[in-house]
Chain A
């Protein structure tokens, strides 16, 4: 057995996994505040990347300014999605809400391709392609930056949940009726969580786009995001971070062994298997609350 290869795929897998958890954090934020499973998170990631490119290429803004402008825009987009589409569905059966997020997924994905076209484009954020040497291991520089950003986002959220607005969001996620009755505006809190998750999606979109380019395949991060979110417990942001590392390592190691056996593309299979296993064995995930309805 080649230990260096194993270690390398584990380390790189862990870093990729942290980038998955950026997608998962958006799902968790929305689920925490409103119990809505957002199946449009992948499409929001893709839209965020396209908006950055639109500011950078069409408005000729430098890339850092384009990213900031895109974050502000996506903040508004997240608010708008909640206001127009989700608020009126509050209290409806979950099938309607799931279908709504699927409809949003189709609309955002096809809509951004209608406006900007579907051909793949690079996302130049100035990270060099040279590998980073860590002893004998070769580490992808973009993955390392992405992982650092994911950890930084997690730290930001930990700090945010200690501010006044963060306490409001925690109250809503604990019990929204009780939050309502003490005068917290639940609608505004939920809208804020959508906006924040759109911002996280934009950041995830930029990082993933610098790995694989800006095109439709960014929306397929949804499966990874959902797997990580469920594995970590749908209402735990720290869980999403750790589950991301776990899934990344399992996927990286498994893919390096299974790909030669199965002829490639075993990553999606590993994801789906992890998702099914999690739901069968421990549906509330690693760190989720235990009040999930089971039969």
Chain B
């Protein structure tokens, strides 16, 4: 089939440590990347700007959350707040005349500095208490963002985001915005892919498994928790800025409320903790599901002659979303990434299934 492996036979360390040890993976990723580059030519621009673009941006966001949750094993229920900080900082910086490329880095840095605040909770408590304190910090951030007029412009205000300009060129077309999102998503993905081959990634995994065991083998778990929180906050902040710049074009406090934090968490859990391709699946699943549910409900309603009230139609997709999260946790707790890797493991040695043993 695709992989044509009959076992793993590396003859030198370089082959073993390669980013993609199996050549079929390289081919598949290359083809996917070409498809992604050609997408604005192949697909209707409506689909590009309303499905592909938010999917890529949210995937980058989910990868940032996965860094802290799946790699470093620390809870973060306030990820949307961090994204909001990045978004607001970037919008204010661009409105003050700073070029957009620098502004998103500034936004990421602001998010990263404030995100370290979350890390100080992590230095003190862990597990459930960390989850609760990050949740409380999310509420505090929400409150600060919406109640300080200098940040949000007032409780009900919407702040218009200036158009993106890259190296002085205005980016306004759907395809251009899509490429901005694509570049960011590819950057985050390649960072995450390489992370597990570096000392930093291995240290984070050691901290996740047991922080005092990590300390025994000489990994400073405080330091790496701080690094994990600030890195993930940086990714989150820039993702928030790009989400505003390419998709929403205006920023309001509700875009980064606690529900959005839970949504990002659901992407990581449904996709699979610590799985990169899982983050892609999880983001796609969580983003596409409400639309698909609406279509399904209206199809079922006409097919079987139900009639729903407007309120029922408004809340049913949300209820099914909750039910799906529950179903995933019960049926496949390791998420879509695990399902993918099961299929891949099967195909890897197909038709020589016995070599696995």
Contact = CB atoms under 8 A, between A and B. Distances in A.
B323 interface: yes
Interface string B151-163: 0000000000000
B143 A110 contact: no
A227 B128 CA distance: 13
Interface in B102-151: 121, 123-129, 131-133, 135-137, 139-140, 143, 147
Contacts, number: 145
Interface stretch (A61-69, A130-138, A243-251, A260-268): A260-268
B149 to A, nearest CB: 9
A111 B315 CA distance: 7
A114 B125 contact: no
A265 B266 CA distance: 29
A280 B133 contact: yes
A119 B311 CA distance: 9
A37 B132 contact: yes
B131 A98 contact: yes
Contacts of A98: 75, 128, 131
Contacts of A269: 139-140, 143
Contact of A103 (B121, B124, B322): B322
B190 interface: no
Nearest to B261: A102
Interface residues of B, number: 42
A114 B322 CA distance: 13
B276 interface: no
Interface string A94-127: 1110111011111111110111011100000000
A88 B330 contact: yes
A53 B234 CA distance: 47
Interface in B258-306: 262, 265-266, 269, 273
Given A89-B329, A99-B329, A110-B321, A279 B311 contact: no
A107 B323 contact: yes
Contact of B121 (A113, A114, A227, A276): A276
B137 A107 contact: no
Given A265-B143, A293-B126, 10 more contacts: A98-B128, A98-B131, A100-B325, A107-B322, A109-B322, A114-B311, A118-B311, A119-B311, A276-B121, A279-B129
Interface of A: 37, 85, 88-89, 92, 94-96, 98-100, 102-111, 113-115, 117-119, 223, 226-227, 230, 262-263, 265, 268-269, 271-273, 275-276, 279-280, 283, 292-295
